[in-house]
């Protein structure tokens, strides 16, 4: 067994870490921006959706690389996928809620 094989078996896949980071940020940043900074903008859902989609892509690529290289990080990639999908679902629920509220609001 060579040194590179030993390092690969103990190393954590970088895309798995990136996927988890993007997934968590996709959920945390909108809450932080709204509750603490009071920022409400159309750019926020777009940024969240972009980060979530990139997190999903990194998760899928990380899982493929982990199988090929025997690296660690499978659970990180899975959690990144879950957080990214949850952020997208939350954004859809918020958009539908705003649509329903605006439909019944009398101006």
The pLDDT tens digits for 56-67 are 999 999 999 999
Question: In the structure, what pLDDT confidence band is assigned to residue 35 with cuts at 50, 70 and 90?
Answer: low
Provide the token pair at 30: 């909108």
Burial class (CB in 10 A: 0-12, 13-18, 19+), 72: middle
Does residue 86 contact residue 51 with C-beta atoms inside 8 Å? no
For the cut 90, the answer to whether the pLDDT of residue 44 exceeds it is: no
Mean pLDDT of 1-20: 74
Question: Which sequence spans correspond to the domains of the chain?
Answer: 3-104
Residue 12 φ/ψ, nearest 5 degrees: -100, 135
């Amino acid at each position: 067994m060579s040194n590179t094989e030993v390092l690969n078996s103990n190393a954590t896949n970088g895309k798995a870490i990136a996927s988890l980071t993007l997934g968590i940020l996709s959920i945390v940043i909108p809450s932080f921006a709204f509750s603490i900074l009071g920022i409400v903008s159309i750019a926020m859902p777009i940024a969240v959706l972009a980060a979530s989609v990139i997190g999903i892509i990194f998760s899928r690529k990380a899982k493929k690389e982990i199988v090929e290289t025997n690296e660690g990080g499978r659970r990180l990639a899975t959690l990144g996928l879950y957080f990214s999908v949850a952020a997208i679902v939350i954004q859809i629920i918020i958009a539908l809620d705003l649509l329903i509220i605006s439909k019944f609001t009398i101006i």
